[in-house]
Amino acid sequence: MANSTPVMEAIDQTIESKRRPPSDVITEWVSTVDHKKIGIMYIVYALIFLLIAGVEAIIMRIQLAVPNNDFVSPQVFNRMFTMHGTTMVFFVGIPVLFGYGNYLVPLMIGARDMAFPRLNAFGFWISAFGGLLLYFSFFGGDGLYGAGSAPDVGWFAYAPLTAKVFSPGNNTDYWTLGVLLSGIGTTATALNTVTTVISMRCRGMTMGRLPLFTWLMLITSSMIFVVVSPLTAAQIMLILDRYLGSHFFDTQAGGSAVLWMHFFWIFGHPEVYVLVLPAFGFVNEIIPVFSRKAAFGYPAMVAASAGIGFVSLSVWAHHMFTVGLGPAGNTFFVFSTMVISVPTGIKIFNWLGTLWGGKIIFTVPMLFCIAFLFQFLVAGLTGIMLAAAPFDWQLGNSYFVVAHFHYVLVGAIVFGLFAAFYYWYPKITGRMMSETLGKWHFWLFVIGFHLCFDFMHIPGLLGMPRRIYTYEASRGWETLNLIVSVGAIFQGVAVLILVYNLVRSYYRGEKAGRDPWDAWTLEWAVPSPPPVYNFAIDPSVNSRRPLWDLKHPEEPDSDYE
Amino acid sequence: MLSSLHLRSILLPCILSLTAGAALGQSATSIFSPAASPAQWEYGLSMLVLSVTLVIFLVVGGLLLYAVIRFRQRPEDSEREPPQIYGSEQIELSWTVIPILIVVMLFLSTTRVILETEAAAKPASALDVTVIGHQFWWEFRYPKYGVVTANELHVPMSDPARPTPTYLAMSSADVSHSFWVPRLAGKMDVIPNRLNTMWIDPWAPGLYLGQCAQYCGTQHAKMLLRVYAQSPADFAAWIKQQQQPADQDLSNNSAAAEGRTVFMHSACINCHTITGTPATGRFGPDLTHLASRDTIASGPVQNTAENLRKWIDNPDSMKPGVLMPSMHLNDHDLDVITAYLTTLH
């Protein structure tokens, strides 16, 4: 520095000041491109929306607890079920699963980050903006009074109810744009995940050795390319209809209501699998660890999951059995829908095979996984009932359907997610969650879940349609609805316990260490929480269970592959 | 604590089915008490599917339960890891092939019911009714008889010896709706720019309840539906009565006569039809034989003079979100219009 000029010194200082690490926490999080921080942001953001959508669910269940109730007006009720569904699918389900994907995939495959870190940050922020925009609708229009102008067209937004003539004002636009933005974010993250898994694996991490969660994120992400694009196209067409005078879905001008259904369900049905496959991934990681057994039939698990992903693209019209597709159309979609139960069955049997002969340890994550197995079994069986088209003519759009898909979305996906919270929390924060509070959470939620969704099947069989804000006392639905509402409140309380546990354990949880569960995948090889660079030296693996090989050199897995 | 989890997974379906069984007897809209052929065939298929899925539930659920109890870690267990099994081709093949066979069986039974229902030949004796869905009420037209009514569908019962099924040709004037009377048939969507058909053949006379099953806007919940199945003689009488002009000579009923004048000079006639009068509106329900109906407001309100007056005064108070506006009539006008409308038998 002795012979440097003042000008050069100034330049050096500027460079130095630019290089200075972000000093405050907000800048650090807002500007981060670290896959772990982005993953955490996704999870926290989804949790916030989970609480909001949960409140909406409770409002609906209070309204329906007794017949002829006037707790909320019909329009507010319609807004509640629209926002509940939209939020749960687009701003809870996808973000939280991608949050875990973001956090775990690079760690599991021995990479230092995602393939495109900045695209990753972009994906998160644009999704988050979509959520904010959707909820800003509560302040739009007539403001908070009368719940603002929040969308009231249902999460499925069937044409032509969304046409300008039937839905004046801006609420449908909030819905369209909010969902459109979240779709862009989802596609970006999906692209990133696929690229990361394909090109960033460490030495020895062949496709045949990928952890099952990573496999499922890969399949899910590949599906997203195919299924989110039609939704995005439909959103744009709807905007064109509403503002530029096109008539795709405007039936008053000769447009087609059924066209929207096709577009929507080509997205909407595979979406169920987009959500459930990562949940399968959680269970695939957790059950082996707490059974102390390698996953049974790994190749079949992968093939079945890919099969589910593939077949799910051809089942969308089973949401349309009552549209008048005719016998040929109905028969095709009966077949494709029923076929999907075969790979799904294989997965359940393989989980059974993993449990068989194991030493099952009932930690909180394992409890959630076991409940998942039973509930997913029931969800699959009611799915077969709905696949039988003539049975569906009766059950479709009734409360039976609401019960069925909540069995999938809550009984399977949310239970898988809760298991993941408890299982990976020590890795993410370095501290264990309280098992006692976890058991309270589990039991309250299980009881609430069964009170709510078991009994919800029956009003459907008794002719109760969904999306009605009230009903007459004379139909024999009232006791059942009261039980369902009580169950919903149980689940709400259980989630509050979870949130308390998450916050409390962050400050007062027991220190976790590297590998508290004696697990086998690579993320447990790094400190908890992992450093920014993940792995100090690039790892190299020889089998599907690299840490098993380290701990049991006398009987390495690699001998069996 | 764990065993109670397993206990619940066994007990709950039992409690569920008991409660369901008890509730089934009481509901007028249970899909398990069919009263027409389509509903009967759907019921038959549902019983088959329910039994197959129940068996699968018991077998797989039982195996899961056994595995969870049998293979739990016990304090006396050794520290060693259990023997590892990485897979077995025979076992995996068996639990692939057996489900495929079950699926094929269910698929064939389902297809048969689809064809029976959707491809059934239409007998010459069938009655045709046009169903038009509106926000938030139903319009029924009998083209052969020139009868138009709203919300309450009258059909003849059909006996196997001389079947007289009713064929419903359905479309919508605005958004999508869905026609669902669970005891008669599964639902069929009512979609604008599209003609869907379904048929029903009630076996026994009586009132069958249903309601719109497709979310259609603010008042979707109160778009109810009533089907009256009548003996052929009663049905013929009903048709005859509906064909009579309802607008009578009112010279001996001054209140009603004044009500007619008020009605014909208000905006009511832009939306409602009363045959034989200047009222020819198509937007709202046809009121020609209003007083012959049991309910108003598409089902949720009994058709009494008092309710009718309240309804005309402020429809939104009885059915929030209804598209009929309040006409801001004074008490006198309300009284006379009600008096007039109650004469429309």
B192-243 residue pLDDT tens = 999 999 999 999 999 999 999 999 999 999 999 999 999 999 999 999 999 9
Say yes or no to pLDDT of B9 above 90: no
Does B10 contact chain A (CB < 8 Å)? no
- Torsion angle, alpha carbons of A153, A155, A159, A160, to 10: 0
pLDDT band of residue B2 (cuts 50, 70, 90) is: very low
Q: In A, residues 51-90, which contact B (CB 8 Å cutoff)?
A: 73-75, 78
Measure in Å the smallest separation between the Cα of A359 and chain B Cα atoms: 5
Say if residue B21 is exposed, middle or buried (CB neighbours under 10 Å; 0-12, 13-18, 19+): exposed
Which of A158, A160, A468 is CA-nearest to residue B222? A468
Q: Give the residue from chain A lying closest to B220, CA to CA.
A: A468
CB of A311 within 8 Å of any CB in chain B? no
Look at residue B217 and give its three-state secondary structure. Answer: coil
pLDDT at B168 over 90: yes
Task: Write down the residue that tokens 């890891």 correspond to.
Answer: B81
From A455, which residue of chain B is nearest by alpha-carbon distance? B16
Tokens of A461: 């069989």
At what angle are helices A435-461 and A478-508 packed, to 10 degrees? 160
Q: Say whether residue A39 is in contact with chain B using an 8 A CB cutoff.
A: no
Query: How many helices, marked H, and strands, marked E, lie in chain B?
Result: 9, 12
Contact status of A436 with chain B (Cβ, < 8 Å):
no
pLDDT score at A244: 95
- DSSP class of B224: E
pLDDT score, position A57: 97
| Predicted confidence (pLDDT) per residue in A299-340, tens digit | 999 999 999 999 999 999 999 999 999 999 999 999 999 999
User: b or e along B138-172 (b: 16 or more beta carbons within 10 Å of the residue's beta carbon)?
Assistant: bbbbbeeeebbbbbbbbbbbbeeeeebbbbbebbb
pLDDT band at B24 (very low <50, low <70, confident <90, very high): low
A-contacting residues in B 109-168 (Cβ below 8 Å): 109-111, 113-115, 117-119, 135
Rounded Cα distance between B251 and B23, Å, is: 53
- Are the Cβ atoms of B194 and A470 closer than 8 angstroms? no
User: What number of C-beta contacts closer than 8 Å exist between A and B?
Assistant: 307
Instruction: Tell which A residues from 479 to 498 touch B, by Cβ distance under 8 Å.
Output: 479-480
> What's the length of chain A?
561
Read off the tokens for B123.
């007998």
Helix (H, G, I), strand (E, B) or coil at A344: helix
Q: Which residue has the tokens 């309204």?
A: A63
SS3 readout for A438-481: HHHHHHHHHHHHHHHHHHHHHHHHCCCECCCCCCCHHHCCHHHH
**Which of A263, A194, A393 has the alpha carbon at shortest distance from B118?**
A393
Query: Is the sign of the CA dihedral B29, B33, B36, B38 positive or negative?
Result: positive
Shortest distance, CA B76 to any CA of chain A (angstroms): 12
Upstream peptide bond of B202 is cis (omega within 30 degrees of 0):
no
Q: Best mutation site among B46, B171, B193, B215 for testing chain A: the one with the most A CBs within 10 Å?
A: B215
Contact A422, A519 (CB under 8 A): no
Cα B152 to Cα B297: distance, rounded to the nearest angstrom: 11
What pTM did the predictor assign?
A: 0.92
pLDDT of the residue at B160: 82
- pLDDT of the residue at A1: 43
Output the pLDDT for position A422.
97
Query: Between the CA of residue B136 and those of A47, B150, B214, B319, what are the distances in Å?
Result: 38, 11, 11, 10
* Cβ-nearest to A381 among B53, B82, B217: B53
- Subunit contact B110:A299, Cβ cutoff 8 A: no
Q: Which residues of B touch A389 (CB under 8 A)?
A: 110, 113-114
What is the per-residue pLDDT for A556?
Answer: 84
Q: Which residues of chain A have pLDDT under 70?
A: 1-5, 8, 10-23, 141-148
User: CB–CB of A454 and B60 under 8 A?
Assistant: no
Smallest CA-to-CA distance from B300 within B137, B155, B135, B134 is with B137
Pairing mode, strands B295-296 and B301-302: antiparallel
Q: Do A294 and B84 touch (CB under 8 A)?
A: yes
pLDDT band at B87 (very low <50, low <70, confident <90, very high): confident
φ, ψ of residue B156 in degrees (nearest 5): -80, 145
Name beta bridge partners: B210.
Answer: B225
- Specify the higher pLDDT residue, A12 or B329: B329
CB contact under 8 A, B86 and A446: no
B68 touches chain A (CB under 8 A): yes
Measured CA to CA in angstroms, residue B85 lies from A299, A557, A560, B72, B79 at distances of 13, 11, 10, 17, 18
Predicted confidence at residue B3, as pLDDT, reads: 45
Q: Do A394 and B187 touch (CB under 8 A)?
A: yes
Interface contact B95, partner A, CB < 8 A? yes
pLDDT tens-digit series, residues B306-315: 999 999 999 9
φ, ψ of residue B7 in degrees (nearest 5): -55, -45
Residue of chain B with shortest Cα separation from A453: B16
All residues of chain A having their beta carbon less than 8 Å from the beta carbon of residue B113 are 388-390
Q: Are A460 and A399 in contact (CB under 8 A)?
A: yes
Structure tokens at B182: 């669970």
State phi, psi for B134 to the nearest 5 degrees.
-135, 155
Distance, CA of A113 to CA of A117 (rounded, Å) = 7
Segment 260-319 of chain B within 8 Å of chain A by CB? 300
Q: Note the pLDDT of residue A26.
A: 85
Q: Is B44 on the interface with A (CB under 8 A)?
A: no
- Cβ distance B221 to A374 less than 8 Å, yes or no, reads no
**What does DSSP say about strands B137-142 and B177-179: parallel, antiparallel, or unpaired?**
unpaired
Q: Which among A296, A378, A396 is the nearest to B85, CB-wise?
A: A296
pLDDT interval class at B25 (50, 70, 90): low
Q: Report the alpha-carbon distance of residue A133 to residue A149 in Å, rounded.
A: 12
**Confidence band (pLDDT; 50, 70, 90) for B21?**
low
- How high is the pLDDT of residue B248? 83
Q: Which residue of B has its CA nearest to A548?
A: B81
Please give the C-alpha separations between residue A139 and each of A50, A143, A239, A322, A397, in angstroms, as whole numbers.
Answer: 20, 4, 21, 37, 31
Tokens of A92: 């809870």
pLDDT of residue B4: 45
